[in-house]
Amino acid sequence: MRINHRTIPERTCIACRQVRPKKELTRLVRTADGILIDATGKKAGRGAYLCRRPQCWEMGLKGNRIEQALKVTLSDANREELRRFARSLAPEERLA
């Protein structure tokens, strides 16, 4: 009898440094058009992950953690778009 052991992909939040299942994190990806929020987790480009907690988004945006992870300088428009997304997280996601 064979037992199928599938490994769950894990990633590290760039703000709190906790390792979590990939599906629990939000992926940011650097593209030629700038920084995008990658809901599918499959877009091509350099990626970084953040928890869905407001503290992690604040930490990532306040310092330069996102910029370091993606090796890019965030424009004011990119920074505001990411802040808008962080404010739009559903309450159950915000507490996770």
CATH number of the domain enclosing 14: 3.30.1230.10
What's the pLDDT score for residue 23? 93
Q: Where are the alpha helices (DSSP H) in 1-96?
A: 54-62, 65-70, 76-87, 91-95
Residue 5 falls inside a structural domain: no
Radius of gyration of the chain (CA): 14
pLDDT the model gives residue 88? 87
d(CA 12, CA 34): 22
36 domain-assigned: yes
Q: Give pLDDT < 50 ranges for the chain.
A: 94-96
- Model pLDDT, residue 95: 47
- pLDDT for position 94: 45
Q: What pLDDT score was predicted for residue 80?
A: 92
pLDDT at 90: 59
Distance from chain centroid for Cα 51: 6
Parent domain of 73: 10-95
Q: What is the pTM of this model?
A: 0.83
55-66: per-residue pLDDT in tens? 899 999 988 899
Using DSSP's 3-state secondary structure scheme, residue 39 falls into coil
Using DSSP's 3-state secondary structure scheme, residue 90 falls into: coil
**How are strands ordered across the β-sheet holding 34-38?**
34-38, 26-31, 46-50
Number of structural domains (the chain) is 1
